[in-house]
Structure 1
Amino acid sequence: MPHPRKKAAGHWFGLLTAAVLCTSANAHELEIHGSNTVGATLAPMLVSGYLEQHGTGPVSRRPTGTENEQILMTGSDKGRISVLVAAHGSSTGFRTLASGKAQVWASSRPVKSTEASQVREKADLTSLESEHVIAIDGLAVLVHPGNPINAMSIETLAKVFSGQIRNWAELGGPDQSIQLYARDDRSGTWDTFKSLVLGKTYTLDGAAKRYESNDQLSDDVSRDPGGIGFSGLASVRNSKLLAISEGDAPALKPDQLTVASEDYPLSRRLFMYTMGNQTPRFAKGLIEFALAEEGQNLVAESGFVSQNPIAVKPEFDDSVPKSFRRLTGNYQRLTVNFRFAEGRTRLDNKAQRDLLRVKHYLEQQNLSGDDLLLIGFADAQSHELRAQMISELRALSVRKALSEANVANAAYTGYGHYMPVGGKGNQRNGRVEVWIKSH
């Protein structure tokens, strides 16, 4: 019996091969424009996986003649189907989506309020129907493999990239000038770095070399003993990764758990945006494929972090209290955190889908809600009791949402404002971790 999600995806595909090929005035049945981080490897892999599942022949790729663009093609009962993936930066994708040229906008940052307002009459880009988190990425801070520096705070990183710190000797390294490598202004990777690291206080040093490609930036850093740069996690290649800290939280390297849970301070979501109920069925089918388990397996294969939950036993450092070690002693942690819309108690769009992923995981493992422990956390508050109350209420809200998804009886507790993963005031501190009994 076919999997219901596969059957649904096949239904979309079958309808479109007849309808789109006859009616489309465009050269391609689907155009995906935007982020180089998403479009260089991940989007083509997802498109290929979708076409391979539902086409009648092999999927071929060819360049368009323009850098960072490619066309993916396959056959169908009605003729040839082609998909264009153009990866020139997140901001370019919004413009093509808004103009109607693209059906999918690939972005390595959330939609900006100014962008959402431009198309509000057509679609709400912040809604569950339009905003699709397809992968989690960690913004990798890269240095030469021989660099002795292993960790850096976000504040120090900002001073380095703004030119306030110019020699590695100032950081305990060799007496060598620092060479800066950064993504270009059209890049969502740059937008993320600017937002999470430079903020409103710092400006990128004008001497920084700028790149449209993550891979090329990483390769150049790996060859420069004085180099430091940033890229998507999938583009570490031969460079060395630094552990990053924020505020009083411990320094973390990006890995499966720290990135998937978004505890890593430079973790970020990768998106595909569509125009809500105006989205063509062919594009809807691709989105459903990308969000499903099979699509998320391709996410992992591409070098990014899948949203399919797995259970891991975290390695605790000395900062973890004994009470927390006792609380979680018989549990493993799932690689998912439930987070909330900013300033609200309702779960955000990713969390809405993660509810179903946790349910699916339990079904696969032949487990139930009785095997879960939900631990809520809060950002620092004016009073410890208030933080405790907020953390418990968050855990309770996730428990209720799971119950509505037919995952009942999950245990829950709050851990107040202890064990922050970011600086004071960081929204990431307000989270609900998911732990599962060890069997």
Structure 2
Amino acid sequence: MTLRVLFLLMVCNWLPLAASAGGLPTPEKGPVLRIQGSNTIGAALGPALVEGLLRQQGLLKVHREVPDAANELRIVGESAQGRRVEVALSAHGSSTGFSALQSGNADLAASSRAIKDRELSDLQFLGDLKSADAEQVIAIDGLAIILHPQNPLNQLDTLQLARIFSGEVKTWEELGGSGGTIHLYARDDQSGTYDTFKDLVLNGHGKTLGSSAKRFESSEQLSDAVSLDPQGIGFIGLPYVRSAKAVAIADGQSQAMLPLNNLIATEDYPLSRRLFFYLPPNGKNPWAKALVAFAQSSQGQAIVAANGFIAQTVQAMTVTPHVLMPEGYQGLSRHAQRLTVNFRFEEGSASLDNKARQDLSRVLDYIKQHDKTDRQVTLVGFGDAKSDPARADLLSKLRAMAVRRELVKNGVVLREVRGFGAEMPVAANSADEGRIKNRRVEVWVY
């Protein structure tokens, strides 16, 4: 049976409608929605978002049922007519979500990393999963590097991390600490958390994970194991630090940063990452579309925050000036506040990426709600280092101008557009991921 036939059969299951819940149809049998993928999302955030959607749809007695299989559950509600409405959720790692889409066993993929080119190609029959409607950033997370609470180390850089987790650095004494042999803790190969760590830390320094690392499918179990091991070090999504100790991280010439909410919201923290729902454009499941819309709503983003992740709700934050900032940036920080969002761009392009397009409407809402439309907004562009500093300055300002055009279309009169070139990097320029993070536009309001 071809993948296209599987897909058509999946769609046809929705044709005989037996009942509806809050306006959404329910099939004759089976779950109304099947979600597979990331354990980071599926452990708590995904179920909470599904519960929120079911209650929004007017369903009663919303609860969770845990089958025998680990990291799987059903979220169940009851319609006013007494009909059972069920959502099935499996959380065995991001890659399993894309495999399930391909086999027709999922309606929605949850992923703690962006879709890979190979997966994108394999799923072409479902439509373009990189399109703005398909690729939905639902939250921001930070990978925390965790130690035993009594470990005296407070700061590491990404090169040190790569050498530690590859097994090149074997003892805490080599890092200026004490405790003997380093014990490594890592997520399993199916995990988007592991993929993110591999991309941001290991691959960037030409390293691979050491064979001595203990591997975990469960985020909670990994964190608890590190917190009980004085020689342990691990990486984990932000909500799962639990009783362990998180350390500050530097990348290249960036300042060392703790995984603090504001630094993760702007994606300045070196190990920040995006959490995704992937909604097949050719999919016909209305519950999948409804869950994506709910996750992006203010109610959904409140659930994101309540579950320990970083919501994409735009807020203003005060930035304390310091001597490492350019003089003009120090002046800006004394008189204005920075919004908790950075605009970033598609790789090799001046076009806003999918998250930036979503953020644009949130920033516009903030500007209008706070009466900042008339010369109360300044855009500040940054870029990656070039051989010609003047070119870096120009490109940083051009990116800011790209955001300006979108704001002007919506009635915003800006106060100023500035470019600071390659100054104040938030990531190393030695890898594509770092250069992309450094190409950013900040929004400041007076």
User: TM tier, shorter chain?
Assistant: over 0.9
Q: Secondary structure at the match of 1:325?
A: helix
Q: Which residue of 1 aligns with 2:44?
A: 41
2:49 alignment partner AA: L
1:436 alignment partner AA: V
Q: Which residue of 1 aligns with 2:444?
A: 435
Please report how far the alpha carbon of residue 385 of structure 1 lies from its aligned counterpart in structure 2 after TM superposition: 1.1
Q: Secondary structure at the match of 2:258?
A: coil
1:42 alignment partner AA: L
Please report how far the alpha carbon of residue 122 of structure 1 lies from its aligned counterpart in structure 2 after TM superposition: 2.5
Q: Which residue of 2 aligns with 1:236?
A: 241
Q: Secondary structure at the match of 2:289?
A: helix
Please report how far the alpha carbon of residue 369 of structure 1 lies from its aligned counterpart in structure 2 after TM superposition: 5.2
Which of 295, 303, 307 is equivalent to 2:300?
295
1:31 is aligned to 2:40? no
Which of 143, 157, 170 is equivalent to 1:153?
157
1:196 and 1:349 map into 2 onto residues whose CA distance is 20
Query: How big is the alpha-carbon RMSD for the aligned residues of Structure 1 and Structure 2?
Result: 1.6
- 1:68-83 alignment, distance < 5 Å: 68-77=71-80, 79-83=83-87
Q: Kindly indicate whether the alpha-carbon contact (under 8 Å) linking 1:355 and 1:405 is maintained by their aligned counterparts in 2.
A: no
Q: Which residue of 2 aligns with 1:126?
A: 130
Q: Which residue of 2 aligns with 1:222?
A: 227
Q: Report Cα offsets for 1:88-131 as digits up to 9, x if no partner.
A: 10111111112222111000000000000012133101111110
1:216 and 1:401 map into 2 onto residues whose CA distance is 45
Q: Report Cα offsets for 1:325-362 as digits up to 9, x if no partner.
A: 01332111111000000001110000001011111222
- 1:368-383 alignment, distance < 5 Å: 368=373, 370-383=375-388
Q: Kindly indicate whether the alpha-carbon contact (under 8 Å) linking 1:31 and 1:101 is maintained by their aligned counterparts in 2.
A: yes
When residues 369 and 42 of structure 1 are mapped into structure 2, their CA distance, relative to the original with a 3 A threshold, is farther
Please report how far the alpha carbon of residue 188 of structure 1 lies from its aligned counterpart in structure 2 after TM superposition: 0.4
Please report how far the alpha carbon of residue 410 of structure 1 lies from its aligned counterpart in structure 2 after TM superposition: 5.2
Q: Kindly indicate whether the alpha-carbon contact (under 8 Å) linking 1:31 and 1:103 is maintained by their aligned counterparts in 2.
A: yes
When residues 322 and 184 of structure 1 are mapped into structure 2, their CA distance, relative to the original with a 3 A threshold, is same
1:217 alignment partner AA: L
When residues 360 and 69 of structure 1 are mapped into structure 2, their CA distance, relative to the original with a 3 A threshold, is same
Q: Report Cα offsets for 1:8-55 as digits up to 9, x if no partner.
A: xxxxxx96667742x455x20001100000000000111111111222
- 1:7-406 alignment, distance < 5 Å: 20-21=25-26, 23-25=27-29, 27-77=30-80, 79-199=83-203, 201-368=206-373, 370-406=375-411
Please report how far the alpha carbon of residue 215 of structure 1 lies from its aligned counterpart in structure 2 after TM superposition: 1.1
2:281 and 2:374 map into 1 onto residues whose CA distance is 33
1:360 and 1:351 map into 2 onto residues whose CA distance is 14
1:59 alignment partner AA: V
1:335 alignment partner AA: T
Deviates more, 1:117-126 or 1:31-40: 117-126
When residues 323 and 69 of structure 1 are mapped into structure 2, their CA distance, relative to the original with a 3 A threshold, is same
When residues 336 and 380 of structure 1 are mapped into structure 2, their CA distance, relative to the original with a 3 A threshold, is same
2:137 and 2:97 map into 1 onto residues whose CA distance is 16
2:53 and 2:376 map into 1 onto residues whose CA distance is 34
Task: Give the TM-score of the pair, scaled to structure 2.
Answer: 0.91
Please report how far the alpha carbon of residue 194 of structure 1 lies from its aligned counterpart in structure 2 after TM superposition: 0.8
Deviates more, 1:152-161 or 1:62-71: 62-71
Q: Secondary structure at the match of 1:70?
A: strand
Name the % identity: 45
1:30 alignment partner AA: L
1:428 alignment partner AA: K
Deviates more, 1:384-393 or 1:396-405: 396-405
Q: Kindly indicate whether the alpha-carbon contact (under 8 Å) linking 2:126 and 2:282 is maintained by their aligned counterparts in 1.
A: no
Q: Which residue of 1 aligns with 2:11?
A: none
2:98 and 2:49 map into 1 onto residues whose CA distance is 20
Please report how far the alpha carbon of residue 322 of structure 1 lies from its aligned counterpart in structure 2 after TM superposition: 2.7
1:267 alignment partner AA: S
**Unmatched 5+ stretches in structure 2:** 1-18
Deviates more, 1:377-386 or 1:271-280: 271-280
Q: Kindly indicate whether the alpha-carbon contact (under 8 Å) linking 2:141 and 2:264 is maintained by their aligned counterparts in 1.
A: yes
2:306 alignment partner AA: E
2:122 and 2:367 map into 1 onto residues whose CA distance is 41
Q: Kindly indicate whether the alpha-carbon contact (under 8 Å) linking 1:310 and 1:335 is maintained by their aligned counterparts in 2.
A: yes
Q: Kindly indicate whether the alpha-carbon contact (under 8 Å) linking 1:16 and 1:282 is maintained by their aligned counterparts in 2.
A: no
